[in-house]
Amino acid sequence: MNTVVLELRSLKETVADAARVMKTGRAEREARISFATPELLWEVLTGKRWELLKVLCGAGPVSIREAARRVGRDVKAVHGDITALLEAGVLTRAPDGRIAVMGSVWAA
């Protein structure tokens, strides 16, 4: 899987799709991260976080310090953004503590 789809969907629609996947046993071809409202989407994906995601996309696991270096920002500020993106499920943490984008290609 190398695509992550960000979408606006109701909880009801998301649960119905999850139930369908469990019933059929056929997984989606791409990972999906759903937001209930545009406001929630932009609360999580601020401009700085979107910039961070673009830089990290396809980079593989990197340290927070390396992520900060790549976007030319303060490590503490990038750490806060990475924490928010981890909580939203947009980033993942490798066993060694480095972070990576869920997929290598982003679709909105």
- Asked if 88 contacts 33 with a C-beta cutoff of 8 angstroms, the reply is yes
> pLDDT: is 6 or 67 the higher one?
67
Q: What is the pLDDT of residues 1-33, one digit of tens each?
A: 467 778 888 889 888 888 888 888 887 777 778
Whether the model clears a pTM of 0.85, i.e. scores above it, the answer is no
Percentage helix, strand, coil for the chain under 3-state DSSP, each rounded to 5: 50, 20, 30
Maximum average pLDDT range among 11-20, 35-44, 54-63, 68-77: 68-77
For residue 72, give every residue at least 6 positions away whose Cβ sits within 8 Å of its Cβ, in sequence order, or none: none
pLDDT, average across residues 87-107: 77
Half-sphere exposure of 12 (CA within 13 A, CB side): 0
| Whole-angstrom distance, CA of residue 23 vs CA of residue 19 | 6
Is the pLDDT reported for residue 46 higher than 60? yes
> pLDDT: is 95 or 3 the higher one?
95
